[in-house]
Amino acid sequence: MSKTVLLFAGQGAQFVGMGRDLADHYPTARALFDRANAALGYDLASICFSGPEGDLLKTENAQPGIFLVSWVALQLLRERVPQLRFQATAGLSLGEFTALTSAGVMEFEDGLRVVRLRGRFMQEACDATRGGMAAIIGLDEGPTREVCAEADVELANLNCPGQLVISGESEKIARACELAKLRGAKRALPLPVAGAYHSRLMADAQPKLRAVLADIPLHLPAVPVISNVTAQPHGVASEIHQRLVEQVTSSVRWEESIRGLLAQGFTRFIELGPGTALSGFMKRIDKTVQVLNVGDCASLELTATTLGSALQP
């Protein structure tokens, strides 16, 4: 029997209109969007469905919005495929909170409120600094780390072979891009982000997030949840708290996390939430495994049909 991992999208996956068709067609989805609005005290659903884009791009809206659409996708898949079982979860940056919630570590409303505040704290750190990020395409990790050291920036995301992301002060990122090209990178592209996520420039967000997490009850994961910081499964509640605080400034070790799951025999990966970036990473890491996704009605139907056939007793 295939071992299944649930994957959850991170910031950058958001787009105006995400989740709208799910809410229009499924009462369960509509009810979850209404619950989210009530929990947060404002109309996040409307921002997801209709924008304006400037509001959705704000970190304090994008993060809970992606969390919410990802959670809705999971609940609808469970509704459509009652026999669905999964043996591990993982999420990219923000998506780690969704992964933890899906494993029963925190309640839906608690997870939603935490990521809303996390987004606000990170936005405040962005506003207080002049940071940026860039994608480095076609350069291996070793030379990229050398570039980071020379330019005094940090390696933020190790996504998949040939795609790394660096983070730091804007002027230093520009220099790092030039150095990367000189070392053979196919492309070095500044990203349209508000600041230097997963770098030391986010340090001011950490004590604020630590204080919020201290008030959130956490339970042991029902299945292994992979930490972005360690690329290993989370441990007890106190360790989960610490890893989530560290994650704000640490590298996201995504490829290493996925390779660890592959080594344990996982062969089915289901991406939940807006976009298909994680599915794209999977194809670069291992083309032989089954990769499915749920982000709208069409992908929900296709994945439910595929799983329904595969999971027949």
Give the pLDDT score at 309. 79
Give the pLDDT score at 194. 85
User: Is 93 among the residues known to form the active site?
Assistant: yes
- In tens, the pLDDT along 204-249 reads 999 999 999 999 999 999 999 999 999 999 999 999 999 999 999 9
Six-digit token string for 133: 């990020």
Sorted by sequence, the CB contacts under 8 Å of residue 81 that are 6+ apart come out as 304, 307, 308, 311
Domains of the chain, with CATH numbers? Answer: 3-127+204-310 (3.40.366.10), 131-190 (3.30.70.250)
Give the pLDDT score at 311. 73
Question: Taking the chain (313 residues) in consecutive chunks of 10 residues, what is each chunk's mean pLDDT?
Answer: 92 95 98 98 98 93 97 98 96 97 97 97 94 95 97 97 96 97 95 92 97 95 98 96 97 98 97 96 96 98 91 64
**What is the SS3 assignment for 87?**
coil
CA dihedral 304, 307, 308, 309 (to 10 degrees): 130
Give the pLDDT score at 192. 83
Q: Which of 70, 93, 279, 299 is catalytic?
A: 93
- In tens, the pLDDT along 197-214 reads 999 999 999 999 999 999
Six-digit token string for 152: 């005094």
Sorted by sequence, the CB contacts under 8 Å of residue 142 that are 6+ apart come out as none
To the question of pTM greater than 0.85 for the whole model, the response is: yes
- Beta strands per DSSP E along the chain: 3-8, 88-91, 131-137, 154-160, 163-169, 187-190, 266-272, 290-294
User: Is 250 among the residues known to form the active site?
Assistant: no
- As a whole number of angstroms, the distance between CA 145 and CA 164 comes to 10
